[in-house]
Structure 1
Amino acid sequence: MTASIRTVGDCLRVPYLVTAQSQPLPDGTWVRHVEHPELPDCTAQAESITEALSLLDHRRIEVVLTMLAGGERPPAQRAPIGDQQARHRVRRAGLTDRVSQLWNRDADSLAATDWPV
């Protein structure tokens, strides 16, 4: 982690690349598939792009916290976004209760007991 990324909240403020594509399903309907290719197993899909991106944001938070809890540092290739914007994304993902007590924790101290894998 870079020197400016020390806390769990800092890690959740890092922006990641997003790829998106429409994919046909066997029944002839289409879904929007989105992913953060820089994060392992961080994908989502839904009928609308808006819903898919919302699900992806939720998944990104879970992946970052699971990586930290497992002693692994998520990549941080770009400068973090603002604190309020990041907290809003956590709130929108419905994870405020689970994340708020971890926000200011040292990222390297997060343990598997702190975040359910």
Structure 2
Amino acid sequence: MKGVWCLQSNRNYNTYTYQNGAPQDALGEVPVVLSDFLAVPYLLRAEAIESEPGRWLIRVAYPELPGCTVESAVVEDALMELERRRIEIIVGLVEQDKQPPVPRPPLAVSDPLWAAHDLGLSERVAQLLSPPPKQ
């Protein structure tokens, strides 16, 4: 089925949203949706790099998420752009029917919709995260 992935629910994760009482399929797996992928915590790597003699930049990356690296002169700008890029990469992979890397379970407390709006991401991303309207 397109766009449906499952995580094994028999693991004992303390922060895993679905470990207790989540709907499971016949194999005991819990379906994963886009907001779950966006709640996966990735390791953050940060370093100061000399781009040319006397000129320093901050490089931040989520090395577990290929292509998710940013450089900036200001650390706050680098972190905001890195988070924007993380969301865009994950959404892009899901739209291509590819599963993003899941090195650890999603955080139990996370609001990807707030992050998408806060980062000024396109309406396309925000709409993908929004719940369908009630009828």
TM-score (norm 2): 0.67
Question: Structure 2: which 5+ residue stretches go unaligned?
Answer: 1-5, 8-28
Q: 1:104 & 1:4 partners in 2: Cα distance?
A: 20
Counterpart code for 2:128:
L
Aligned match for 2:114, one of 82, 88, 106: 88
Larger Rg: 2
Q: 1:69 & 1:87 partners in 2: Cα distance?
A: 17
Question: Structure 1: which 5+ residue stretches go unaligned?
Answer: 106-117
Count of aligned positions:
104
Larger relative helix fraction: 1
Aligned to 1:63: 89
Aligned to 1:53: 79
Aligned to 1:29: 55
- Counting aligned pairs with the same residue, the percent is 32
Aligned to 1:110: none
Q: 1:88 & 1:19 partners in 2: Cα distance?
A: 24
Larger relative strand fraction: 2
Change (3 A) 1:18 1:33: same
Misfit runs of 4+, over 3 Å: none
C-alpha RMSD of the superposition: 2.0
Higher relative contact order (CA 8 A, sep 6+): 1
